[in-house]
Amino acid sequence: MKSIFRVFADWTAEVTGSPWVFSAVVVVTAMWLAAGPAFHFSDTWQLTMNTFASQVTFLIAFLLQNTQNRDTRSLQLKLDELLRATQGARLSLVNLERLSDEELARLKEEFERISQRRAERR
């Protein structure tokens, strides 16, 4: 089941991010707007588009979040491997995503100080 969902989520992310789908949504929206006068801009006319847009947005948000989570995990693993393979790198940085916001802020300040020191030496 996970594999099918992953494939579907990847496919959805690819398709929904394409210029063709964006263009199709613009066309559908224009058609909906053009149909407004024929339906006297009724509540039903508005509700139809609002319901459709809400449901599509709701479903795609979950699919795209799944894809983004997997991409982030993959990127983290690649960075972890680079840290592991780089001589002199601090392996304590491998699990940075598990640190608190305060710990991340301290680490950021440390890197800024290091960067400033190097810039002053040049």
Same domain, 21 and 78: yes
**pTM recorded for the entire structure:** 0.61
d(CA 93, CA 84): 10
Q: Write the CA distances from 66 to 8, 52, 84, 95, integer angstroms.
A: 10, 22, 27, 21
Low-confidence ranges of the chain (pLDDT < 50): none
Q: Look at residue 51 in the predicted model and tell me its pLDDT.
A: 94
Same domain, 25 and 47: yes
Same domain, 113 and 73: no
d(CA 56, CA 53): 5
Q: Which domain holds residue 108?
A: 98-122
Q: Look at residue 95 in the predicted model and tell me its pLDDT.
A: 81
Same domain, 107 and 59: no
* Distance from the Cα of residue 82 to its chain's centroid: 23
Continuous H helices in the chain: 2-16, 19-35, 43-85, 101-121
Q: Look at residue 23 in the predicted model and tell me its pLDDT.
A: 94
* 9 exposure class (CB count in 10 Å sphere: 0-12, 13-18, 19+): buried
Same domain, 122 and 66: no
Q: Look at residue 116 in the predicted model and tell me its pLDDT.
A: 92
